[in-house]
Structure formats: structure tokens, C-alpha cells
């Protein structure tokens, strides 16, 4: 693409560019995992014999993409944040919108990182999304 050699190349601009590139990669990776269902959630890990149970920690269902995005009560606070962020951009909290609307991409990806559920599987550096710590499992 257009990586102009004649643009300002001071350290700050370079760092910002790197962060944006990491953010795009992290977001794309998470969105791909969500839409294929091949993701570090028990529902999938169980299917590929990487985890004994497909159940979510809330015990209300299997830990699937839908469950995590829309249902799991353990993630309600984080989901409220996501709902607010989405509604600012005119996106509803519905699976078809979450995974299809371009405006939703970084929000959904950040939600997934904030859930800390992908830690054992993800190739994404949470720092790329500005999420520095996982406060719960
Ligand atoms: Zn759950």
C-alpha cells in the first residue's frame, strides 16, 4: 500500500503506525476466529479435544461464540460496555450486526480481549488493543 518514504518518520509517527497495524491485525484475527467459530472458547476447544468440557464457567450453556457475545451473565459488565460503544455507532447487539458491520469490528475485538477468554489460544497481543490486564478468568 502507500508507505511513502518521504513522509515524516519520527519515532512517534512510527510507533503510532505500528500500533495501528497491530490493532488491525489483532482485530482481523479475532473477527476471523469469531466468524469461523475456530476460537479459544470451550465450545470449540472441546470439539477439537483440547478441553474436557464445552460448558462455560457460568454453567448455563456451552461456551460458544453466541454465548460469549450475547448471553453469558459472567460477561454482563463487559457486554454493557460493548452495547454502549456499539450504540454510539448505530450498531445493535445482534450477532449478524456484530460480525458484519465494519463500525463494530474494533469494538467486538476489544470485547473479546477484555473477556480474557482467549488467552490460552489467541495469537493476539492484548496490548495492541489497549487492554493491559485480565482481571478475571
Ligand atoms: Zn457463560
Q: Is the pLDDT of residue 129 over 80?
A: no
Q: Is the pLDDT of residue 137 over 70?
A: no
DSSP-derived secondary structure letter, 55: B
d(CA 135, CA 8): 38
In a 3-state reduction of DSSP, which class is residue 68? Answer: helix
Q: What is the pLDDT of residue 14?
A: 83
Per-residue pLDDT tens over the stretch 87-110 = 999 999 999 999 999 999 999 999
Cα of 123 to ligand 1 centre, how many Å?
23
Cα of 103 to ligand 1 centre, how many Å?
26
d(CA 84, CA 125): 24
CB within 5 A of ion ligand 1: which residues? Answer: 56, 58, 72
Cα of 64 to ligand 1 centre, how many Å?
9
Cβ pair 79, 71 in contact under 8 A: no
Nearest alpha-carbon partner for 57 in 41, 45, 38, 77: 41
Q: In terms of C-beta density within 10 A (0-12 exposed, 13-18 middle, 19 or more buried), how is residue 19 classed?
A: middle
User: What are the beta bridge partners of residue 55?
Assistant: 62
Q: Is-above-0.85 flag for pTM? A: no
Per-residue pLDDT tens over the stretch 32-81 = 999 999 999 999 999 999 999 999 999 999 999 999 999 999 999 999 99
Amino acid at each position: 500500500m502507500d508507505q511513502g518514504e518521504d513522509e515524516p518518520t519520527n519515532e512517534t509517527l512510527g510507533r503510532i503506525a505500528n500500533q495501528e497495524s497491530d490493532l488491525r491485525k489483532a482485530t482481523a484475527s479475532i473477527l476471523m476466529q469469531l466468524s469461523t467459530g475456530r476460537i479459544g472458547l470451550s465450545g470449540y476447544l472441546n470439539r477439537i479435544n483440547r478441553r474436557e468440557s464445552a460448558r462455560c464457567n457460568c454453567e448455563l450453556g456451552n461456551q460458544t461464540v453466541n454465548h460469549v457475545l450475547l448471553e453469558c451473565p459472567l460477561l454482563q459488565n463487559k457486554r454493557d460496555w460493548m452495547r454502549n460503544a456499539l450504540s454510539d455507532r448505530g450498531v445493535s447487539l445482534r450477532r449478524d450486526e456484530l460480525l458484519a458491520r465494519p463500525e463494530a469490528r474494533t469494538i467486538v475485538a476489544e470485547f473479546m480481549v477484555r473477556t480474557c477468554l482467549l488467552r490460552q489460544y489467541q495469537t493476539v497481543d492484548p496490548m495492541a488493543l489497549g487492554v493491559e490486564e485480565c482481571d478475571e478468568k
